Amino acid sequence: MAKAIQEVTLNRSEDIPFDKLELSQQNVRKIKAGVSIEDLAEDIVLRKLLQSLNVRPILGENGEETGRYNVLAGGRRYRALELLVKQKRMAKTEPVPCIVKRGGDTSAEDDSLAENVQRVDLHPLDQFRAFQTLRKQGLGEEEIAARFFVSIATVKQRLRLASVSPRLLHLYAAGEMALEQLIAFSITNDHVRQDQVWDTASRSHAREAYYIRRLLTETAIRASDRRAVYVGVEAYEAAGGIVMRDLFEQDQGGWLQEPALLEKLAVDKLKADAETLKSTEGWRWVEAAFDFPYGHASGLRRFYGKQADMTRDKLARYDTLKAEYDKLQADYAAAQGSSEETEKQLVDLGAELDRLKDRPFVFDSEEVARGGVFISLSAGGELKIDRGFVRPEDEPKAEAEASGDNVDGDIESATGGAVSTNSAPPAGDQDEEEGDGPDAS
């Protein structure tokens, strides 16, 4: 004989005034976790209550219902509603949708545990795509962050992950790719390149996130590269260049994806700086390159300028600042403990003293008319300017005949780079000149 199928009867939903509800001590959730009660209350203000409370009637001594109810599941929602009542943003008699359970074969603790344990969290990819949908609907990143009580950086990260290659997102959803790997792929928006790198990593069995990042960036140039610093990332992007950024780890400014464009921009800027230097200072020639080979100035005569004297006002200013700096430094050394404010004062004073000492060098106009300059790039991306070189063929004829100097003065230019601001005499001579600079009368 076939067993009869038992029909399921669900618990009924009722609207119960909030002041008739009490938080049950049989609720298994005791430890605070997740969104704060304050944030949950704001979410209820925005969206109203999205989930009913699970309650049981409170019975009197004779087993009769008292008209009050214990909240067994939904304790955080209850506390959020309670907060809104205290803030007078909701009436204490406001009807609250509740699932009411009367009787049954399970205990209150059992129901509370089931309500929490059987809940399945949203898959991360579903959240990424939901944020992406909201963005397409016109919500800004700041508004999305405010609505879901997360940081703007988190929203940017989720949106970036949702934009990874559909093929890789499918692998992630199927459990064939870890979140760390997906994050590594998010540094570029090039889906073709992402798929190519995944195929390469899969064949080599090296699928670690660091290896994926290395493959994706192997043809790119760091934003900290001296050419990138010299040109400027903003100028590179204005010229149509693409920058890959890692929103999940420190990337030191990212990676410039088009080396050829960066090289052209750097060369053009270096040439323009060379022409400007030549026209403003009057040099006969200016050689420009990222780097020059060793011995590039061999056979050239070197001459040096003289550092301009300080004006009377600047000298007085220097002496005042130097005395203030020395006193502050001595007092700080004698004091116990550290002080960020004093350290900042010392740094500011030292910077101003350096600016006063960093005076331009003045060169003889006749020497400038026959001399030249080498400009290149420093390791930090600043211009390195070496002034004061004379080729043998540019020497005055009388001096050249007297010396019998027939050295060929051709200079080979290079393609490389480093930067300073002014040429200086040999170490010994320059030290001797600078030693009396600021303190000279």
pLDDT at 248: 87
Q: Which band of pLDDT confidence, cut at 50, 70 and 90, is reported for residue 437?
A: very low
Say if residue 49's pLDDT is above 60: yes
The Cα–Cα gap between 155 and 131 comes to 7
Q: Which band of pLDDT confidence, cut at 50, 70 and 90, is reported for residue 50?
A: confident
Q: Which band of pLDDT confidence, cut at 50, 70 and 90, is reported for residue 21?
A: very high
pLDDT at 357: 82
Per-residue pLDDT reduced to its tens digit, 264-288 = 999 999 999 999 999 999 999 999 9
CA distances to 29, 56, 71, 121 from 111, in Å: 12, 10, 11, 19
Three-class SS state of 242: coil
pLDDT at 436: 41
pLDDT at 82: 93
The Cα–Cα gap between 305 and 364 comes to 7
Burial of 57 (0-12, 13-18, 19+ CB in 10 A): middle
Query: If you search the block for the tokens 């219902």, which residue do you land on?
Result: 65
Q: Which band of pLDDT confidence, cut at 50, 70 and 90, is reported for residue 381?
A: very high
For the record, the structure tokens of 360 come out as 């331009």
Mean pLDDT of 254-259: 94
Q: Which band of pLDDT confidence, cut at 50, 70 and 90, is reported for residue 400?
A: very low
Q: At what angle do helices 191-204 and 209-217 cross, to 10 degrees?
A: 130
Q: Which band of pLDDT confidence, cut at 50, 70 and 90, is reported for residue 416?
A: very low
CA distances to 99, 255, 283, 375, 440 from 422, in Å: 81, 32, 14, 10, 21
| Closest C-alpha to 255, from 227, 291, 290, 284 | 227
